[in-house]
Amino acid sequence: MNLRSIIWQELKSRPSAVIFNSLTILLGVAALVAIRHVTVHSEKEVSKQLSNLGANILVLPKDATLQNYYAADQNGGSLPEEHVAEIYLAGLSGVEQVSPRLNVATQVDEHAITVTGILPQSEVEALASWQATTMFMNTTDTGCCQRTNVVSAQQLASPQALIEHRAIQELDKNAIVVGADIAAKLGCKAADRVELFGEKFTVLGILPTTGTVDDGRVFAHLHEVQRLSESGATCNAIEIVGCCEDAAGSLVPQLQELLPNAKIVTISQVVQTQVGVNQLMAKTSWIVLAVMMVVGGAGLAGAISSNVQERRREIGTLMALGATPRYIQQLFLGKALLLGLAAGAIGCLLGVSAALIVGPAWAGVSVTPLVGTSLLAVLLATFVALVAAWWPARRAAQLDPCICFREV
């Protein structure tokens, strides 16, 4: 026998009390860990999306959410393709690149994939010069201090430009560019033939892994996708690259006036929304933390207090047998330590599991376990349990041993 085995035997004798006493702390830790996991990963996701999203203005259908856009979801509604021409025709200064996108879901060899229709820049430019007699595009009169976003036709030549610059210079009607994940699933490489919507396409190139939704997409010519999916001359989004961030800002009201039935968002808005959500999550997790501290701690303090009360005669007996007050204090602190550790560890496991499931399902972010956060949560739970048990344990230690003679 020693202190540890006495604590352990007592805990073992009443497993249900162990569960009830530490349930609040356990659930608090679980919630905290889950929220922190989703928040941290969602922040990472935002910065990843940002770095992958070259376009600084998005034109979306009125009812579409950013989530629809990121997820290449077709439920967000559609825009007429004419908007592309209208944007050029308006001759807005600072517009550097316009690329419409149409997402269609389909199956290839039983793999669900998203086909994204894009318009190669060569055709956008032809359309522009055919449509417009106005002076536009690449004018020096943009009001930009630095033309940070300007890219040349040469830079858009390879399929990789789809990732770096969100556009490609040339794309034949029977050619496709395949995202990394899809290429791996289908086992296809450049120059292979792949059947989409019952027609054969030649793989122009495979995109490198980006860690974004682009990995799960196949890019094809917009007009082919429109024809094969029978969606008419529409698209789901139009990405606009302004010549610089400043220009993008001033373009928004002009675009909104030009396209009153569309939703115009800038990347900074996207970021703000996401950052706002993240801040809310972060604040929520602090509230959860505070609630866990107060409610869980108070609950455990009450439980340990009544445990001391119930075991008064046992405490007196232990003292009669030679236990020091310090030993009695450690008896209860040790119990709280074990409860805190167990609640922390189990809560942590639950929280991480919840985040792994809920993160992708509800927040659209993939979650991996964060070791530091988890360890911190376990430590915190242990600390709360120790603080909660501190006073009851002290009171136990101050009991007069003569209570061992008291009958019930």
Q: Which residues bind other proteins (CB under 8 A)?
A: 1-3, 5-6, 9-10, 12-14, 313-314, 316-327, 400-402, 404-405, 407-408
Close Cβ partners of 139 (under 8 Å, ≥ 6 residues apart): 93
- Extended beta strands in 24-94, E state: 57-61, 79-80
CB of 324 to other proteins, least distance (A): 4
Burial 109-133 (b: 16+ CB within 10 A, else e): eeeebbbbbbbbbebbbebbeeeee
| Cβ nearer to other proteins, comparing 104 with 319 | 319
Is residue 117 within 8 Å of residue 221, measured between CB atoms?
A: yes
In sequence order, the β-bridge partners of residue 220 are 117, 176
Q: Closer to other proteins by CB, 13 or 154: give it.
A: 13
Nearer to other proteins, 377 or 399 (CB): 399
In the complex, least distance from residue 27 CB atom to other proteins, rounded to whole angstroms = 27
Q: How far is the CB of 20 from other proteins (least distance, A)?
A: 17
Q: Which is nearer to other proteins, 262 or 328 (CB)?
A: 328
What's 8's DSSP letter?
H
CB of 311 to other proteins, least distance (A): 9
Q: 265: which strand partners?
A: 58
Backbone angles phi, psi at 209, to 5 degrees: -65, 135
Give the span between the Cα atoms of 290 and 275, in whole angstroms. Answer: 22
Q: In terms of residues, how long is the chain? A: 408
Q: Least CB distance from residue 6 to other proteins, whole Å?
A: 7
> Is the CB of 2 or the CB of 154 nearer to other proteins?
2
Q: How many CB atoms lie within 10 A of CB 237?
A: 25
Q: Is 54 left (phi over 0), alpha (psi -120 to 50) or beta?
A: alpha
Tell me the closest approach of the beta carbon of residue 19 to other proteins, in angstroms.
17
Please say which residue, 202 or 398, places its beta carbon nearer to other proteins. 398
Instruction: State the minimum distance, in angstroms, from the CB of residue 309 to other proteins.
Output: 16
| Residues 96/149, Cβ–Cβ less than 8 Å | yes
369 versus 401: smaller Cβ distance to other proteins = 401
